[in-house]
Amino acid sequence: MIDASQLEAFARKVEAASTDLKPYMGKTLQEVGEEFLTIVQEAIEGAGNVDTGKLLSSFTKGGSGNVWNLDLGGLTLEIGSTLDYAKYVNDGHRQQPGRFVPGYWEGNHFRYSPGSKSGMVLKASFVAGSHFFDRSVQTLERMFPEMADKAFEQFFRRYFG
């Protein structure tokens, strides 16, 4: 037999849980965003796209400008870079073979220097992208179900023991 006081206590827990669910999911999405930024940074490093470190540190959650939207089962995460060239590093880009680019070499790194008499001549018509962002999305998509399960489990344990 069901005790009415137990039913009332359960109803209060359900009401409290429903009130807290949306803020909790927002917090969880923020945590997923932080994890995704770490994944992106590791992918940039793994692809060898680190020279000055600008690209590495340019990504933020909800950043304006160069923004990618990541849809995670109805939850949207906005990740952006303040650098215009982030998309070109990820996707690749065309260039004009034979074009002179002013600058100088520092070891294995070319440094663009407008007005320089020295430089290099472009040979390739296309520079392949490193697809660091695409690989990061795939990594997060593999990790997200477990992350979401853990978050929901913690949430429900808080209210329903």
Q: Tens digits of per-residue pLDDT, 25-84?
A: 888 888 988 899 999 999 999 998 888 889 988 888 876 666 777 777 777 778 888 888
> Domain for residue 39, yes or no?
yes
> To which H or E segment does residue 76 belong?
strand 75-81
What the block records as the tokens of 94 is 């065309």
Range of the domain at 18: 4-90+130-160
- Taken in order 104, 106, 109, 111, the sign of the CA dihedral is negative
Determine the pLDDT at residue 69.
75
* Rounded-to-integer distance, Cα 17 and Cα 160, Å: 9
Q: What predicted TM-score, i.e. pTM, was given to this entire model?
A: 0.77
> Domain for residue 119, yes or no?
no
* Rounded-to-integer distance, Cα 138 and Cα 82, Å: 22
Number of structural domains in the chain? 1
> Domain for residue 32, yes or no?
yes
> Domain for residue 117, yes or no?
no
> Domain for residue 118, yes or no?
no
Question: Do the Cβ atoms of 97 and 125 come closer than 8 Å?
Answer: yes
